[in-house]
Amino acid sequence: MEKICLEESEDSQETDKVSSSAKNSLKNHKKITLSNCVVLFDFDNTITPFDVIDDIVEKFSINEKWRKIEEDWKNGKIGSKECLKNQFNEVRIKKDEFSGYLSKIKIDQAFSKILALLKHSKASVAIASDSCSFIIESILKNNGISGVKIYSNRLKFKKDRIILDFPHFNKNCSKCANCKKSHLQKAGGSDKIFIYIGDGLSDICAAGCADIVFAKASLLEHFKKEKKKYIEFDTLSVVYNYLKEMAQ
């Protein structure tokens, strides 16, 4: 993927780069101002460098049942609510150990730069995730970030078990545990520009309603297959540089 240097990183002499697809997309959005944008982030494998939920299930399950559950979800036999609930039924870990595990997880370094840019530009920003608020808030806090609006599932601890709750489940659609599309729809009127950044199958509905989509992994493959417009990203530096250009 061809890339173009835009600026030097603050933390090293390496350069931040933006993909050529993002460069071309910018030509079509020159009149867009960030103050008129609603920016929605996925969390796992978007803000974090790997899928935290998948890692939790794999590391702390007492058996291998989660593998069959995962396959059923990927094949469309069950929705993500049923998948998550059934997988976490097999997880055993106490709160203190769980918090210790979360304390070691780092996030993409560009995320804090994006938040600062969006705040300065008075753009709306939120996280929409099939993860849980306890997990997301803990990881962000451990990385020095707070105050971000979060739409997610919830959890509570019962001894060494984790019980999930799904406050944003849409009863009219059994596909998603957290109806991310609804969070975009609640964010503003028709004059708003919606930007979505994500990586997975649970991002497809919300990304399909967005004006600008940054995609990687499964979401990228879906958009390629459907021949929809997208901007490919590997790290959030691509997103930061794109938004920075919009802000100028």
Q: Vertex 135, ends 125 and 204: CA angle to 5°?
A: 55
* Residue scoring higher pLDDT (175 or 215): 215
Mean pLDDT in the chain? 87
Report the pLDDT value the prediction gives residue 170, as an integer from 0 to 100. Answer: 86
Report the pLDDT value the prediction gives residue 15, as an integer from 0 to 100. Answer: 33
Which pLDDT band holds residue 7 (cuts at 50, 70, 90)? Answer: very low
Question: What are the residue boundaries of the structural domains of the chain, listed by start?
Answer: 3-50+108-152+168-247
Beta 231-232 vs 193-198: how paired, if at all? unpaired
Find the Cα–Cα–Cα–Cα dihedral 106, 49, 126, 3, rounded to 10°. Answer: 120
**Which tens digit of pLDDT belongs to each residue from 57-94?**
999 999 999 999 999 998 989 999 999 999 999 999 99
182: pLDDT strictly greater than 90: no
Ordered strands of the 161-165 beta sheet = 161-165, 149-158, 124-132, 37-41, 193-198, 212-215, 231-232
Report the pLDDT value the prediction gives residue 6, as an integer from 0 to 100. Answer: 26
- CA dist., res. 195 & res. 210, Å (int): 6
Cβ-contact 88, 59 below 8 angstroms: no
Domain 3-50+108-152+168-247 annotated CATH 2.40.30.110 = no
- CA dist., res. 93 & res. 60, Å (int): 7
Report the pLDDT value the prediction gives residue 225, as an integer from 0 to 100. Answer: 95
- Phi-psi sector, 80: left (phi>0), alpha (psi -120 to 50), beta: alpha
For the segment 193-218, the average pLDDT, to the nearest whole number, is: 94
Cβ-contact 118, 125 below 8 angstroms: yes
Q: Tell the burial category of 117 from Cβ atoms under 10 Å away from its Cβ (0-12, 13-18, 19+).
A: buried
**Which tens digit of pLDDT belongs to each residue from 106-161?**
999 999 999 999 999 999 999 999 999 999 999 999 999 999 999 999 999 999 99
**Which tens digit of pLDDT belongs to each residue from 10-48?**
333 333 444 555 555 555 555 678 989 999 999 999 999
Report the pLDDT value the prediction gives residue 4, as an integer from 0 to 100. Answer: 23
* Residue scoring higher pLDDT (65 or 191): 65
- CA dist., res. 66 & res. 88, Å (int): 8
* Residue scoring higher pLDDT (216 or 6): 216
Report the pLDDT value the prediction gives residue 43, as an integer from 0 to 100. Answer: 98
Which pLDDT band holds residue 247 (cuts at 50, 70, 90)? Answer: confident
Report the pLDDT value the prediction gives residue 223, as an integer from 0 to 100. Answer: 96
